[in-house]
Amino acid sequence: MWQIFHKLGSPKWFFGISTRFMPWLLVGGIMLLLAGAVWGLAFAPKDYLQGNSYRIIYIHVPAAFLAQSVYIMMASAAIVTLVWRMKLADVFVKAVAPVGLVLTFLALFTGAVWGKPTWGTWWIWDARLTSMLILLFLYGGVIALDRAINDEKSAARAVAVLVLVGVVNIPIIKYSVEWWNTLHQPATFKLTEKPSMPAEMWVPLLLSVLGLYLVFGWLACVRMQTEILSREQRTRWVKEFVMKGRV
Amino acid sequence: MNAEARPAVRLASSSVGALAAMKGVFARDMKVAFRQRQDLLNPLLFFIMVVTLFPLGVSPEVSFLSEAGAGILWVAALLSVLLSLDHLFRHDFDDGTLEQLVLQPQPLFLLILAKTVAHWMLTGLPLVVLTPVLGVMVHLDGNSIAILCLTLLIGTPVLSLIGAIGAALTLGLRSAGVLLSLLIIPLYIPVLIFGTGTVAAAAEGAPVGAYLALMGAFLMLALTLAPFAAAAALRISLSNG
Amino acid sequence: MAFDSFSAFLTMEGHGPYVWACYAVFFVLLAAMMYWSLRARKTAMDACRRGYEFEADKSKVAAPAPAASFARVNVSQD
């Protein structure tokens, strides 16, 4: 058990295994994402309340879903960084934070555009949109702190502390924003809350969520490899990989 | 800065109990602060000025001010606490006191808690004391002012505690001030929401006990977790060199 | 197919611009992120390779120092 754990932490082992899995992640992710999008755009039935604008769900929900779970993943990695000082964990946090930021932005953007035909305005201080905005701030803070500290090791550990403080706050922020929302505008029309969705509607959604997960996995691998390359330049296996193209 | 103005921390012995050490740190911080009184006044002046901007910039009408007043005062208080956070560790970091603190045998998180309490007494508490005056100026009624003071009394320690984490994380960085705000403001949002929400509920005549209890829960949570996070952050920043 | 014709598919009863704009921005940003990430990795690989080649050159050149060369003339500029 511990041996596997230590192996997991070795950049060399990660490099080998990720190189093997990446093509599958990429192909599978893009196929699923496109299948979900095409199905959702062209074949899923029209929503009786929102009309065709609801088709944005097939990208909005995956982006929002992933934006939140990326932060949770970062928090798990942060614990590993602080407790076991595993190299790969802080490489992960650093590599993935900008991806989380972009996904959060996408969730916000698609939410705002969806809001225009549904609510009649681009922006509404809806509980979900507002907590997404705060999540965007959290990601921004993590990236800013990482960029501001020059020393790699202390940057990783400082970022880990910040991510953990953030993750403790996320549920508090979520509930307080929801409470604040009901205080100010009782029972607005929710974008994604449906009493029950027929299968033709939620199956494509499931496909695109899975697809985006795989694409995210691929992105994380590429970005982690980049980070590892620049950190481990002095090791022999990186030299072999760069010069001969294999681990 | 002369040495006279900044007395050294004298507790470098494990025979000193943790409580005595906390008292020592607290007393020293108070003493240092009262030798540089301008630093104490600045956040208060800032608080008053920010509040003044709203009637000038938005509207001096009674109806607007009495409705938005609690929010304005809360935001202004939040910003002035944020402004003062930079001083929490900065001077001690510059003259090496902080490294001495980290090397003490007493647990670091307790010493940080003492520093944070001192920080709150020097910024948060004066803000609460000043609030009734400004509350009258933005036409809040007596009941609202009382509730507002109460929420600030519970809320500003939370601001100081969370802020201590940010101050510890950004210690010694180039643009620490802006970075500190970026990191900390999102974390302040729940306190702000409940602080102003409580006053709004009171204005509508709703019972506020539950809201105050929730804010108390925030305070307890921050009191138990924030010093640990700040201590961890401080060690990281100091090892950064 | 939920639509009668291709033009109906494009306009989506007036919701077309919103839906298509969302999908366009989503896929363009995603593709851009993937492209940038790949390029960053390539840049890192190139930097590594240059570093190794530089080191190899240095160890080669260092052994027999040329007595004179046309390429490099060391002239003090101070």
User: Which residues, including other chains, have CB under 8 Å from residue B77's CB and lie 6 or more apart?
Assistant: B47, B124, B127, B131, B152, B155, B156, B159
Q: What is the C-alpha R_g of chain B?
A: 19
Place of tokens 């009863």: C13
Nearest CA-CA distance, residue A2 and chain C, Å:
31
Phi, psi of A47 (to 5 degrees): -80, 135
Chain A residues close to B163, C-beta within 8 Å: none
Q: Where are the domains of chain A?
A: 56-234
pLDDT band at C24 (very low <50, low <70, confident <90, very high): very high
* Cβ neighbours, 10 Å, residue A32: 21
Q: Which of A145, A161, A165 sits opposite B179 (nearest CB)?
A: A145
pLDDT of A108: 93
Distance (Å, whole) CA B94 – CA B87: 11
Nearest CA-CA distance, residue C58 and chain A, Å:
16
pLDDT band at B86 (very low <50, low <70, confident <90, very high): confident
Distance (Å, whole) CA B227 – CA B22: 13
Answer with the residue of higher pLDDT: A117 or A218. Answer: A218
Place of tokens 């305005």: A121
pLDDT of B127: 94
Phi, psi of B221 (to 5 degrees): -60, -45
Answer with the residue of higher pLDDT: C13 or B195. Answer: B195
User: Which residues, including other chains, have CB under 8 Å from residue A130's CB and lie 6 or more apart?
Assistant: A177, A181
Chain C residues close to A233, C-beta within 8 Å: 47-48, 51
Which of A124-128, A189-193, B81-85 is most confident? B81-85
User: Which residues, including other chains, have CB under 8 Å from residue B111's CB and lie 6 or more apart?
Assistant: B21, B22, B25, B101, B104
What angle separates helix B209-240 from helix A152-184, to the nearest 10 degrees? Answer: 170
The answer to whether the CB atoms of B240 and A151 lie below 8 A apart is: yes
Chain C residues close to A229, C-beta within 8 Å: 41, 44-45, 48
pLDDT of A222: 94
Chain A residues close to B229, C-beta within 8 Å: 161, 164-165
Alpha helices (H) in chain B, listed in sequence order: 18-35, 37-57, 62-94, 97-103, 108-122, 124-137, 142-169, 176-203, 209-240
User: Which residues, including other chains, have CB under 8 Å from residue A105's CB and lie 6 or more apart?
Assistant: A136, C29
B139, B65 contact by CB (below 8 A): yes
Domain of residue B138 covers 34-240
Does the beta carbon of B16 lie under 8 angstroms from any beta carbon of chain A? Answer: no
pLDDT band at A150 (very low <50, low <70, confident <90, very high): confident
Residue type, A233: Q
pLDDT of C49: 87
Answer with the residue of higher pLDDT: B6 or A121. Answer: A121
Q: Which of A51, A110, A116 sits opposite C26 (nearest CB)?
A: A110
Per residue in B199-211, pLDDT (tens digit) is: 988 888 888 888 8
Residue type, B38: Q
Does the beta carbon of B51 lie under 8 angstroms from any beta carbon of chain A? Answer: no
pLDDT of A165: 93
pLDDT of A169: 87
Share of chain B above pLDDT 70, in %: 93
Distances (CA, A) of A75 to A79, A90, A142, A169: 6, 10, 11, 12
Per residue in A18-40, pLDDT (tens digit) is: 888 999 999 999 999 999 999 88
Residue B2 pLDDT > 50, yes or no? no
| Mean pLDDT for chain B overall | 88
A91, A74 contact by CB (below 8 A): no
* Cβ neighbours, 10 Å, residue B214: 19
Q: Which of A42, A114, A233 sits opposite C48 (nearest CB)?
A: A233
Chain C residues close to A242, C-beta within 8 Å: 45, 48-49, 52
Share of chain A above pLDDT 70, in %: 89
Touching C (3+ Cβ pairs <8 A), the chains are: A
Chain C residues close to A238, C-beta within 8 Å: 48
Residue B23 lies in a domain: no
Distance (Å, whole) CA B156 – CA B131: 12
The answer to whether the CB atoms of B197 and A162 lie below 8 A apart is: no
Q: Which of C1, C26, C52 sits opposite A106 (nearest CB)?
A: C26
Consecutive H or E run containing A121: none
Nearest CA-CA distance, residue B189 and chain A, Å:
7
The answer to whether the CB atoms of A51 and C13 lie below 8 A apart is: yes
pLDDT band at A187 (very low <50, low <70, confident <90, very high): very low
Alpha helices (H) in chain A, listed in sequence order: 2-8, 11-38, 57-84, 87-119, 127-148, 152-184, 199-231, 236-244
Nearest CA-CA distance, residue A220 and chain B, Å:
24
- The domain tally of chain B equals 1
The single-letter DSSP state of residue B206 is -
pLDDT band at B109 (very low <50, low <70, confident <90, very high): very high
A204, A39 contact by CB (below 8 A): yes
Q: Which of B174, B200, B229 sits opposite A165 (nearest CB)?
A: B229
Provide mean pLDDT across the span A228-244: 83
pLDDT of A186: 47
Residues of C with CB under 8 A from a CB of A: 1-3, 9, 12-16, 18-19, 21-23, 25-27, 29-30, 33-34, 37-38, 40-41, 44-45, 47-49, 51-52
3-state secondary structure of C12: helix
Read off the tokens for C5: 């014709």
The answer to whether the CB atoms of C49 and A243 lie below 8 A apart is: yes
pLDDT band at A188 (very low <50, low <70, confident <90, very high): very low
Closest chain A residue to C36, measured at CA: A223
Read off the tokens for A176: 């307080």
Cα end-to-end distance, chain A, whole Å: 24
Does the beta carbon of B225 lie under 8 angstroms from any beta carbon of chain A? Answer: yes
Chain B residues close to A161, C-beta within 8 Å: 165, 169, 229, 232-233, 236
Beta strands in chain C (DSSP E): none
pLDDT of B153: 95
pLDDT of B210: 87
Phi, psi of C69 (to 5 degrees): -145, 155
pTM of the predicted model, to two decimals?
Answer: 0.87
Chain A residues close to C12, C-beta within 8 Å: 51-53, 55
Least confident of B45-54, B125-134, C52-61: C52-61
Q: Is the dihedral of CA B207, B212, B213, B215 positive or negative?
A: positive
Distance (Å, whole) CA B32 – CA A200: 69
Read off the tokens for B196: 């102003």
pLDDT of C71: 61
pLDDT of C3: 75
The answer to whether the CB atoms of B186 and A168 lie below 8 A apart is: no
pLDDT of A231: 86
pLDDT band at A200 (very low <50, low <70, confident <90, very high): confident
Per residue in A68-81, pLDDT (tens digit) is: 999 999 999 999 98
The answer to whether the CB atoms of A219 and C19 lie below 8 A apart is: no
Q: What is the C-alpha R_g of chain A?
A: 20
Residue B50 pLDDT > 80, yes or no? yes
Residue A235 pLDDT > 70, yes or no? yes
The answer to whether the CB atoms of A179 and B197 lie below 8 A apart is: yes
The answer to whether the CB atoms of B169 and A158 lie below 8 A apart is: yes
Most A CBs within 10 Å, among B171, B193, B194, B199, to test the A interface: B193
Q: Which of B225, B174, B233 is nearest to A158 (CA)?
A: B233
The answer to whether the CB atoms of B173 and A149 lie below 8 A apart is: yes
A229, C38 contact by CB (below 8 A): no
Q: Which of A148, A165, A180 sits opposite B193 (nearest CB)?
A: A180
Q: ipTM of this complex > 0.90?
A: no
Distance (Å, whole) CA B78 – CA A66: 32
Most B CBs within 10 Å, among A145, A173, A182, to test the B interface: A145
Touching, C vs A (3+ Cβ pairs under 8 A): yes
pLDDT band at C66 (very low <50, low <70, confident <90, very high): low
B218, B191 contact by CB (below 8 A): yes
Distances (CA, A) of B5 to A56, B2, B90: 63, 6, 15
Least confident of A19-23, B2-6, C4-8, C60-64: B2-6
